[in-house]
């Protein structure tokens, strides 16, 4: 949801900022813009559409060279994706420029107030008011950081702001409330960015900013205060991945690379969490065992793909740890007055750690006295910072907007958590826990095997490029997998795609089946819960009798589905609860290939942004 970069140092600010924006384009791609301080003044350029449009504009109308600058790539909220609404926004004198991520909720009142004082506002954005307010405060104080503090005290909503002022050519100032902002500290240079990926080519030393803080960066100094001006505590950290992790590495799309990285991501997420004896060691869960024993329910809150991981976690938590588990869309959670207290364990699942709905849900849970444990992929992000404990997934940076490797690692983390709860609460014996861990430890290899057999899935996807609808059916843990398969297809192929619990079919959705409609069916293992398996085999027959084109995902050796499958996708046999680890992968490949076949942009689907930092 908008990417922001700020730079001050010895290099060309424009080059550094543009390169940083390229790394942040996954956050939004409705427009892009830059501003540099040069020759005692400020020069800016901005353009609707992707960053490439701005780059073309800079070739035909170059900006003067300067070593302090800011940039922005936008996911539009207030005001359409036009040149005028693109950031940076400037004050009327053209001396102050500001970029913003978030929503300023009281902008209408501020706008009216500024208009009364004679300011001419030129865009429809909520952001522009900040440029004008900063200019007023700066002319009164002569200090951009102080001006930023004064302005922030007047703003309501969520915002990361980064600003420069032509009167302070060696300074970039940022502010953060609810939206992400990190500082990169280099040799004689400093960076501000929504995500470390923007400066990873230059430095791996980062500083995590807290809530309601203002930062002033110079070439050799970083000063952080709260909105009142009191010095603030910050956490410095080393980014533990390098620039190559944020590059395509020979793949056509980040999504393809990230799908291929799944075996490693799964293995990395298990690393260090299993001891030599094969037992679980989750030292990072700092919630005392007594509290985990006393917890009387688990509530998982998350959005989108992370929510689907949560739905699967429910099966594992209830089956292994024997504790009731609810799963809720974070965007709905706090509005329905959920029953929470100190005996509720809330698990907030988020790849980015910045999803506003999930953040608000966890804040609500903590206000009610619940303990919150984050499952997160982004070190230092807001959701783990505000949680009681965190279990990091080690997927590495996920750049493609559609989540793949983050999902599989979220599943691993949720399985580990469920087992840990089972261990602590005595719901499973040590050797039972170790047996599941052995299965989990073998899963990375099984994912690798699935990846090696995906060519027929790609071929099938290409053959369906002209279809309008694809339906997905599943039962038990296969149901959330069906939902995830449908979500991937919607967001990438822009097709009507829906996931159903197969048992619900006859209660309505079967009316959607007409000759030729492709239906993907995720078949549970015939072992263990064979009743479930047999029921879904009946469901396949029911839809096939009505003309559906059946695409059946079933484990190796399950021969009972063969007569009813127009297309059969084999996945390795796994324990029932772990099947989503292998059955999701063909659905990711299917959606990616269908999107390509339909000429869609795989990494940057329309209307979307990777990190949803507004509600
Ligand atoms: C879908 C997708 C989204 C995210 C959702 C939550 O492919 O990526 O549905 O899963 O926006 O994001 P995080 O996990 O960052 O909280």
Query: Rounded CA gap, 310 and 121, in Å?
Result: 45
CATH topology of domain 3-246: 3.60.20
Task: Say how many residues make up the chain.
Answer: 615
Average pLDDT estimate for 52-63 = 95
Ligand 1 center from residue 96 Cα (angstroms): 35
pLDDT at 248 over 90: no
Predicted pLDDT at 544: 95
pLDDT at 244 over 90: no
How many C-beta atoms surround the C-beta of residue 8 within 10 A?
Answer: 29
CA dihedral over 227, 229, 233, 235, signed as positive or negative: positive
pLDDT at 614 over 80: no
How many C-beta atoms surround the C-beta of residue 413 within 10 A?
Answer: 29
Q: Quick check: CB of 304 below 6 Å from ligand 1?
A: yes
Q: Which of 258, 306, 387 to mutate to test the pocket of ligand 1 (most atoms within 8 A of CB)?
A: 306
3-state secondary structure of 569: strand
Would you state the structure tokens that stand for residue 267, as one six-digit string?
């293995």
Range name among 129-133, 243-247, 409-413, 461-465 with the lowest pLDDT average = 243-247
Residue in this structure with the two tokens 């449908």, named with its chain if needed: 486
Ligand 1 center from residue 413 Cα (angstroms): 16
Question: What is the DSSP annotation of 39-57?
Answer: TTEEEEEEEESSHHHHHHH
Query: Rounded CA gap, 471 and 173, in Å?
Result: 49
Which residues neighbour 414 within 8 Å (Cβ) at sequence distance 6 or greater?
Answer: 300, 309, 310, 312, 313, 316, 317, 347, 349, 375
Half-sphere exposure of 178 (CA within 13 A, CB side): 25
Half-sphere exposure of 362 (CA within 13 A, CB side): 30
Query: Rounded CA gap, 438 and 443, in Å?
Result: 9
Q: Which of 75, 403, 600 to mutate to test the pocket of ligand 1 (most atoms within 8 A of CB)?
A: 403
Answer yes or no: are the C-beta atoms of 178 and 211 closer than 8 Å: yes
Domain definitions of the chain by residue range: 3-246, 254-451, 455-597
Predicted pLDDT at 529: 64
Query: Rounded CA gap, 481 and 587, in Å?
Result: 9
Q: Which of 253, 259, 333, 355 to mutate to test the pocket of ligand 1 (most atoms within 8 A of CB)?
A: 355
Answer yes or no: 414 catalytic: no
pLDDT at 464 over 90: yes
Residue of the nearest CA to atom 9 in ligand 1?
Answer: 304
- Mind listing the pLDDT tens digit for each residue in 556-587? 999 999 999 999 999 999 999 999 999 999 99
Average pLDDT value for the chain: 94
Query: Rounded CA gap, 589 and 296, in Å?
Result: 39
Q: Is 535 exposed, middle or buried (0-12, 13-18, 19+ CB in 10 A)?
A: middle
More confident residue, 363 or 242: 363
| Band of pLDDT at residue 79, cut at 50, 70 and 90 | confident
Helices (H), 271-376: 289-294, 304-316, 330-333, 356-367
Q: Quick check: CB of 374 below 6 Å from ligand 1?
A: no
Which residues neighbour 64 within 8 Å (Cβ) at sequence distance 6 or greater?
Answer: 36, 38, 39, 43
Instruction: State how far the alpha carbon of 314 is from the alpha carbons of 11, 301, 317, 570, in Å.
Output: 51, 11, 5, 26
**Is domain 455-597 in CATH 3.40.50.10490, yes or no?**
yes
Range name among 96-105, 276-285, 429-438, 544-553 with the lowest pLDDT average = 276-285
pLDDT at 35 over 70: yes
Q: Quick check: CB of 160 below 6 Å from ligand 1?
A: no
Query: Rounded CA gap, 590 and 579, in Å?
Result: 18
Answer yes or no: are the C-beta atoms of 223 and 149 closer than 8 Å: no
pLDDT at 283 over 90: no
Predicted pLDDT at 26: 84
2 Cα distance to chain centroid: 13
Ligand 1 center from residue 304 Cα (angstroms): 5
Predicted pLDDT at 249: 83
Residue of the nearest CA to atom 7 in ligand 1?
Answer: 402
Average pLDDT estimate for 326-343 = 94
Would you state the structure tokens that stand for residue 24, as one six-digit string?
């942040």
| Band of pLDDT at residue 75, cut at 50, 70 and 90 | confident
Predicted pLDDT at 53: 95
Closest C-alpha to 357, from 327, 386, 323, 383: 383
| Band of pLDDT at residue 346, cut at 50, 70 and 90 | very high
pLDDT at 233 over 90: no
Average pLDDT estimate for 270-284 = 88
Ligand 1 center from residue 306 Cα (angstroms): 6
Answer yes or no: are the C-beta atoms of 586 and 452 closer than 8 Å: no
Q: List the strands of the sheet with 31-38, edge to edge.
A: 41-48, 31-38, 68-74, 3-8, 190-193, 182-185, 205-208, 235-238
3-class SS letters over 473-510: EECCCHHHHHHHHHHHHHHHHCCEEEEEEHHHHHHCHH
Which residues neighbour 349 within 8 Å (Cβ) at sequence distance 6 or greater?
Answer: 300, 301, 302, 306, 307, 309, 310, 313, 358, 374, 375, 376, 410, 413, 414
Q: Quick check: CB of 351 below 6 Å from ligand 1?
A: yes
Query: Rounded CA gap, 204 and 289, in Å?
Result: 35
Query: Rounded CA gap, 615 and 597, in Å?
Result: 33
> Given 2, 152, 325, 592, which residue is catalytic?
2
Ligand 1 center from residue 407 Cα (angstroms): 9
Predicted pLDDT at 562: 95
Range name among 68-72, 104-108, 323-327, 477-481 with the lowest pLDDT average = 104-108
Q: Quick check: CB of 321 below 6 Å from ligand 1?
A: no
- Mind listing the pLDDT tens digit for each residue in 375-426? 999 987 899 999 999 999 999 999 999 999 999 999 999 999 999 999 999 9
Answer yes or no: are the C-beta atoms of 179 and 157 closer than 8 Å: no
Give, rounded to a whole angstrom, the gap between the first and last alpha carbons of the chain: 11
Q: Which of 27, 304, 349 to mutate to test the pocket of ligand 1 (most atoms within 8 A of CB)?
A: 304
CATH superfamily of 254-451: Glucose-6-phosphate isomerase like protein; domain 1 (3.40.50.10490)
Ligand 1 center from residue 308 Cα (angstroms): 10
Query: Taking phi first (over 0 means left), then psi (-120 to 50 degrees means alpha), and beta for anything else, what does residue 467 get?
Result: beta
Q: Quick check: CB of 382 below 6 Å from ligand 1?
A: no
Evaluate whether 3-246 and 254-451 have a shared fold.
Answer: no
- Mind listing the pLDDT tens digit for each residue in 500-515? 999 999 999 999 999 9
pLDDT at 286 over 90: no
Half-sphere exposure of 140 (CA within 13 A, CB side): 11
Q: Quick check: CB of 358 below 6 Å from ligand 1?
A: yes
Answer yes or no: 610 catalytic: yes
Percent of the chain with pLDDT strictly greater than 70: 100
Answer yes or no: are the C-beta atoms of 239 and 200 closer than 8 Å: yes
Q: Quick check: CB of 491 below 6 Å from ligand 1?
A: yes
Range name among 488-497, 546-555, 570-579, 598-607 with the lowest pLDDT average = 598-607
Give the pTM: 0.87
């Amino acid at each position: 949801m908008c990417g922001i970069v700020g730079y001050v140092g010895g290099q060309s600010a424009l080059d550094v900022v543009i390169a940083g924006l390229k790394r942040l384009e996954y956050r939004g791609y409705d427009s892009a813009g830059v501003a540099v301080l040069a020759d005692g003044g400020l020069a800016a350029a901005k353009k609707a559409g992707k960053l490439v449009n701005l780059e073309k504009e800079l070739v035909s109308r170059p900006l003067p060279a300067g070593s302090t600058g800011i940039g922005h790539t936008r996911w539009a909220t207030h005001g359409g994706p036009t040149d005028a609404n693109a950031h940076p926004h400037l004050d009327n004198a053209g001396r102050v420029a500001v970029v913003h991520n978030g929503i300023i909720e009281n902008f209408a009142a501020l706008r009216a107030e500024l208009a009364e004082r004679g300011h001419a506002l030129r865009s429809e954005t909520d952001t522009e008011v900040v440029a004008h307010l900063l200019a007023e405060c700066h002319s009164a104080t002569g200090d951009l950081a102080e001006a930023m503090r004064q302005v922030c005290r007047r703003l309501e909503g969520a915002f990361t702001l980064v600003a420069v002022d032509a009167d302070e050519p060696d300074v970039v100032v940022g502010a953060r409330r609810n939206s992400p902002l990190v500082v990169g500290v280099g040799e004689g240079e400093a960076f501000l960015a929504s995500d470390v990926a923007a400066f990873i080519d230059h430095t791996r030393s980062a500083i995590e900013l807290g809530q309601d803080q203002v930062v002033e960066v110079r070439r050799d100094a970083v000063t952080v205060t709260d909105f009142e001006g009191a010095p603030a505590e910050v956490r410095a950290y080393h980014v533990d991945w390098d620039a190559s992790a944020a590059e395509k590495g020979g793949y056509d799309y980040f999504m393809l690379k990230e799908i291929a990285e799944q075996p490693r991501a799964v293995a990395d997420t298990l690393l260090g969490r299993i001891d030599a004896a094969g037992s679980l060691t989750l030292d990072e869960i700092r919630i005392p065992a007594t509290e985990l024993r006393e917890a009387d329910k688990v509530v998982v809150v998350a959005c989108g793909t992370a929510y689907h991981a949560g739905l699967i976690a429910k099966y594992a938590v209830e089956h292994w740890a024997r504790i009731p588990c609810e799963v809720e869309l974070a965007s709905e959670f706090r509005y329905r007055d959920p029953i929470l207290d100190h005996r509720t364990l809330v698990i907030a699942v988020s790849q980015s750690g910045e999803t506003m709905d999930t953040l608000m849900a966890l804040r609500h849970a903590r206000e009610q006295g619940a303990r919150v444990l984050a499952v997160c992929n982004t070190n230092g992000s807001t959701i783990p910072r505000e949680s009681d404990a965190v279990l990091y997934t080690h997927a590495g940076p996920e750049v493609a907007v559609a989540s793949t490797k983050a999902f599989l690692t979220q599943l691993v983390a949720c399985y580990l958590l469920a087992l840990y709860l089972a261990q602590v609460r005595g719901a499973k014996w040590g050797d039972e826990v170790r047996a599941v861990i052995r299965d989990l430890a073998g899963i990375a290899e099984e994912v690798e095997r699935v990846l090696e057999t995906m060519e027929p899935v790609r071929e099938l996807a290409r053959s369906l490029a002209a279809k309008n609808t694809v339906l997905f059916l599943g039962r038990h843990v296969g149901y959330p997998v069906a939902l995830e398969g449908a979500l991937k297809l919607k967001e990438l192929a822009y097709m009507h795609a829906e996931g159903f619990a197969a048992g619900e079919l006859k209660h309505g959705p079967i009316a959607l089946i007409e000759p030729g409609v492709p239906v993907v069916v995720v078949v549970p293992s015939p072992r263990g819960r064979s009743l479930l398996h047999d029921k879904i085999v009946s469901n396949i027959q029911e839809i096939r009798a009505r003309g559906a084109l059946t695409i059946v995902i079933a484990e190796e050796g399950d021969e009972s589905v063969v007569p009813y499958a127009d297309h059969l996708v084999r996945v390795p046999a796994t324990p029932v609860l772990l099947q989503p680890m292998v059955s999701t992968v063909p659905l990711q490949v299917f959606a990616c290939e269908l999107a390509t076949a339909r000429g869609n942009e795989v990494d940057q689907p329309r209307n979307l942004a990777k990190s949803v930092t507004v509600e």
